[in-house]
Chain A
């Protein structure tokens, strides 16, 4: 294994990683169904929150440049407490990775492969992600760069086809704010805070590898804003094609939306394109979550993370099967328990406290340095 050079990802790779990471599952599963035709407004509000969140994460990392998330924990909390926290973060990331894997398995088993055992799909996906992780974050970043254009082209193509097919019914989007702002905000809090925007917390482990740290915040914010805009557009498309009643009933709105396409009786059933878009997102999400977890294990045990890749990957694949008995249970967990007990503390709580502690420590250290500087000056004058 080569250890002689540092793995780096470029700004454009980082941008694309954030966009795909955000779109990932969200674009296929759909967001804010409870807000009915105003779902897109909820997504917009959630995007603003996402932008604030990534700004906060970038700010936290910029306090001590060159230090990773787990290193910051160590500096903020000391050896023992940081290890405990890191351990919990590892569990959290592994659990979310398993949830993401499960999302994908559910899509495939319900929509395309009704007879294939879920274990096979989750195992194959996990093995693929393990391979990428073994190759390193640089390879993941570059592969994102290679695969993104296809995903983007497919999405644009789908919109064009829907347009040609005259599937848009803008009356479905009206009346705007029929029930006032209440349902809109209800859709945002708390479920949309954690998913998809809050999950950026896993990317904090990747941010250290970005080459130009000075542009990190700018690129991060613009990427989240771009992803939010795309999500908003597709939420609008789903509602305008399917209508509010259908949206509530279907499991994967985008898949149902594109099944509406039938052009010249030749271009129809473009499921493969949606599955590709979904697969790209899922792949990146599982990779990034697993990477975050593995980096945590590296910081706890001080053993290079590549030693853990395959066992942990297999573990995630089996957890993804065990976490829920069926799809309904899986979704229920995701909507009720996870945001409150996992997302909010791990995405907002701990990083916030860490930032405050770091801020105090950094200020204090700067003060000390100033003093030292003064001492030096005094000495040299003598």
Chain B
């Protein structure tokens, strides 16, 4: 046993060494080559780096009688902007007396005529390549060993729309878009605080995707922040296209159906999470922002809870927990009762169910599994199909799952009710990734129920509780503040008490600064006489 583990460790280490070698090769080959003073050589170098890609442009220019080269990727820059802020001052240069003879003079010139604009002086080819890739226009001049790069990025992003998941009735309707910069803007708009930080990182050895770690200094627990940083830095991946792709790299445990990282499309939820002492990860190219550490009750709360009267919010929260339980155990309980525990149902109800099941050729479990699978297929089809054929699937699905199956005598009509209720209940969870857990565990529970009855269901639930308790998200127990029980936090878990009663931040995140709004108090309208 022990030999095996050491063997595995050695294997993993070997793999790491091999990978490190590959990475170092990638980063060192083109690097450290200085820009040549002859433009023609630089041009060839750039050409050879980018190959014959269509969007690379290397245009010859003349500045003060000096040969030069303008180089950019037309896909990453805004040409109009280049003409406006770059070409015009450059062409003006010919008329002036000031000479640009060496690198220092070039830099001085840049400082005077491009002050306020984002520009970089590059000295190596590696740098140059990277600048061209990230939306800079590069100018090389003959006789200069440094090149000027000006930032003219192309701003192609969709407009801010209402988020498609986690929608609310009352509350802000803005949602993140794929542009990280816009996401940062939306967050900054909500939290005007100098302590709000966005730490840049770059991930993906092949895609070089920029991601940002957002947090509020002084509120977040420094140990958690350090852990998040460490985990981001230890990601070795070649490509990142969505925040979901880095989620698996940073969770504490991947062998679990439950999400250990919260994700949201809503700036107000993000802001609220930041304020309560969480770290957020914004990935360029993904509208979903990750939030950590996450606990189970985060997935039952939504920003709208705080925009509604507290009684209503508490009631709705309660409904969500119940709905989760229904989505989880309803089919299993049905199978258990029909197969083993007839006596648990009142007699008239039992008789009516039995009468319906008279003509059904399958045992209850097969019936449940058929229907659940059918529903899952319909659901997946509903998401993936082209919008145009949407009607077809819903009509066919409605008929197959409902009327026709009952009339054909394949399933009982009570089964349709069970499946429908389960399906509806599974949509109540405000966070999509959490309702998936119920979807998956449901099948396990159905099989347990079929083999051991209600005892099997209880067994499954005990297992689930044990599993949930063994989970941690960035060191925070997943079921806190229920277990370990924290009385302070109960104001905002299943209940949602009035906002003024929450004078402290939830301590389950272990924030560095616990006090939230010490002077908050209930409204004090003028009292009636005699009270």
Complex Cα distance, B345 from A117, in Å, reads 25
Interface string of B445-478 (1 = CB under 8 A from A): 0000000111110110011011011100000010
Closest to A259 in B: B343
Please tell me if the beta carbons of B344 and A145 are within 8 angstroms of each other in the complex. no
Interface string of A330-366 (1 = CB under 8 A from B): 0000000000000000000000000000000000000
B395 interface residue, CB < 8 Å from A?
no
Please tell me if the beta carbons of B484 and A142 are within 8 angstroms of each other in the complex. yes
Please tell me if the beta carbons of A272 and B454 are within 8 angstroms of each other in the complex. yes
Complex Cα distance, B341 from A108, in Å, reads 12
Please tell me if the beta carbons of A135 and B344 are within 8 angstroms of each other in the complex. no
- Closest-CB distance, A278 to chain B (whole angstroms): 10
Please tell me if the beta carbons of B344 and A143 are within 8 angstroms of each other in the complex. no
A283 interface residue, CB < 8 Å from B?
yes
Complex Cα distance, B453 from A124, in Å, reads 13
A249 interface residue, CB < 8 Å from B?
no
Interface string of A123-159 (1 = CB under 8 A from B): 0110010011001101100110111000000000000
Residues of A within 8 A of B465 (CB): 143, 146-147
A112 interface residue, CB < 8 Å from B?
yes
Cross-chain contact of B344 among A116, A124, A131, A272 (Cβ < 8 A): A272
Residues of A within 8 A of B463 (CB): 128, 131
Please tell me if the beta carbons of B470 and A139 are within 8 angstroms of each other in the complex. yes
The A269-287 residues at the B interface (CB cut-off 8 A) are: 269, 271-272, 275-276, 279, 283
B346 interface residue, CB < 8 Å from A?
yes
Complex Cα distance, B347 from A281, in Å, reads 31
Please tell me if the beta carbons of A135 and B462 are within 8 angstroms of each other in the complex. no
Please tell me if the beta carbons of B479 and A271 are within 8 angstroms of each other in the complex. no
B169 interface residue, CB < 8 Å from A?
no
Cross-chain contact of A108 among B455, B466, B468, B479 (Cβ < 8 A): B455
- Closest-CB distance, B28 to chain A (whole angstroms): 36
Complex Cα distance, B459 from A128, in Å, reads 7
Question: Interface range on chain B: under 10, 10 to 19, 20 to 34, or 35 or more?
Answer: 20 to 34
Please tell me if the beta carbons of B459 and A142 are within 8 angstroms of each other in the complex. no
Please tell me if the beta carbons of B455 and A132 are within 8 angstroms of each other in the complex. no
Complex Cα distance, B336 from A113, in Å, reads 12
Interface string of B329-355 (1 = CB under 8 A from A): 000000000001101101100000000
Residues of B within 8 A of A132 (CB): 466
Closest to A270 in B: B344
Whether A275 touches B459, Cβ cut-off 8 Å, given contacts A13-B484, A135-B469, is no
Residues of B within 8 A of A167 (CB): none
Please tell me if the beta carbons of B455 and A135 are within 8 angstroms of each other in the complex. no
Interface string of B423-456 (1 = CB under 8 A from A): 0000000000000000000000000000011111
Please tell me if the beta carbons of B459 and A113 are within 8 angstroms of each other in the complex. no
Interface string of A260-304 (1 = CB under 8 A from B): 000001101101100110010001000000000000000000000
B416 interface residue, CB < 8 Å from A?
no
Interface of A is mostly: helix
- Closest-CB distance, B215 to chain A (whole angstroms): 24
Please tell me if the beta carbons of A275 and B455 are within 8 angstroms of each other in the complex. yes
Residues of A within 8 A of B466 (CB): 128, 131-132, 135, 139, 143
Complex Cα distance, B456 from A279, in Å, reads 11
Please tell me if the beta carbons of B455 and A142 are within 8 angstroms of each other in the complex. no
Residues of A within 8 A of B456 (CB): 124
A222 interface residue, CB < 8 Å from B?
no
Please tell me if the beta carbons of B484 and A10 are within 8 angstroms of each other in the complex. yes
Complex Cα distance, B343 from A112, in Å, reads 10
Complex Cα distance, B482 from A323, in Å, reads 39
Residues of B within 8 A of A64 (CB): none
B483 interface residue, CB < 8 Å from A?
yes
Please tell me if the beta carbons of A275 and B454 are within 8 angstroms of each other in the complex. yes
- Closest-CB distance, A265 to chain B (whole angstroms): 6
Whether A124 touches B343, Cβ cut-off 8 Å, given contacts A10-B484, A142-B484, A143-B469, is no
Please tell me if the beta carbons of A142 and B477 are within 8 angstroms of each other in the complex. yes
A121 interface residue, CB < 8 Å from B?
yes
The B344-381 residues at the A interface (CB cut-off 8 A) are: 344, 346-347
**Residue contacts A-B, CB under 8 angstroms, 16 given:** A112-B340, A112-B341, A116-B452, A121-B455, A124-B452, A128-B466, A142-B484, A145-B484, A146-B479, A146-B482, A147-B462, A147-B465, A269-B344, A271-B344, A275-B458, A283-B462
The 8 closest A-B pairs by CB, nearest first: A142-B483, A145-B483, A135-B470, A142-B469, A139-B469, A146-B483, A132-B466, A143-B465
Other A-B contacts than A146-B483, A271-B343, 19 sampled, CB-CB below 8 A, are A10-B484, A108-B455, A112-B453, A116-B452, A125-B459, A135-B466, A138-B469, A142-B469, A143-B466, A145-B482, A145-B483, A145-B484, A147-B462, A265-B347, A269-B343, A272-B454, A279-B455, A279-B458, A279-B462
Footprint of B on A, CB under 8 Å? 10, 12-13, 108, 112-113, 116, 120-121, 124-125, 128, 131-132, 135-136, 138-139, 142-143, 145-147, 265-266, 268-269, 271-272, 275-276, 279, 283
Footprint of A on B, CB under 8 Å? 340-341, 343-344, 346-347, 452-456, 458-459, 462-463, 465-466, 468-470, 477, 479, 482-485
